[in-house]
Amino acid sequence: MQSGSQSPLLQVKLIILYMLDRVPFPLTKAQIFDFVLMNEYTDYITLQQVMSELMDADMVAARSMRNRTHISLTEEGSQALELFGKRLSPETLRQIDTFLKSNEIKLRNEVSIRSEYYKATSGEYEAHLVAMDRGIALANLTLSVPDADTAAHICENWEKNNQEIYQMLVEKLF
């Protein structure tokens, strides 16, 4: 799968940059890793190294939310892709495009529903819940609760039941 005329590390970097360029939302680190490892472009340790190098070079930005790391393309990454993207084979581009198209709803849902909790200055915990669509917050809710376990439970339930909760809010509020 790898072209002998280029560095395997460069190819994997370009694959990641291309994936991020083709979607209008961040991808999770796990989503990117699943694609690269499933298609045997490299091994896990090398992929970790490549991701670290992309972050260190400010080509991608990472934002951690609970148990997920959201990766997005930076301007530097976009410029690098523009300069070197032609080095990816048509077959590789087709594989990426097919993967993104066939998994778009699943990929979007995984990054559109966000939840995190933290200890507030009052000593209580706050569960921050967000539902996004195309970069717009459809719902943005913060609940104060007495302990971390309750806040974590609220976040888990939001991730599982967000559609029903959002629908109920719309029905009751509109």
- The predicted pLDDT at position 6 comes to 58
- Give the 3-state secondary structure percentages of the chain, helix then strand then coil, rounded to 5: 55, 25, 20
pTM listed for this prediction = 0.69
CA distances from 17 to 7, 29, 86 (A): 15, 12, 12
The residue whose two tokens read 């459809």 is 138
User: 113-142 pLDDT, tens per residue?
Assistant: 888 899 999 999 999 998 877 667 888 999
Q: What percent of the chain has pLDDT over 90?
A: 60
Structure tokens at 12: 């994997």
**Residue 44: which residues within 8 A CB-CB, separation 6 or more?**
33, 37
Q: Say whether pLDDT at 104 is over 90.
A: no
The residue whose two tokens read 């302990």 is 147
User: Which secondary structure element, helix H or strand E, spans residue 152, and what is its range?
Assistant: helix 148-173
Domains of the chain: 8-102 (1.10.10.10), 112-173 (no CATH)
User: 10-42 pLDDT, tens per residue?
Assistant: 999 999 999 999 998 889 899 999 999 999 999
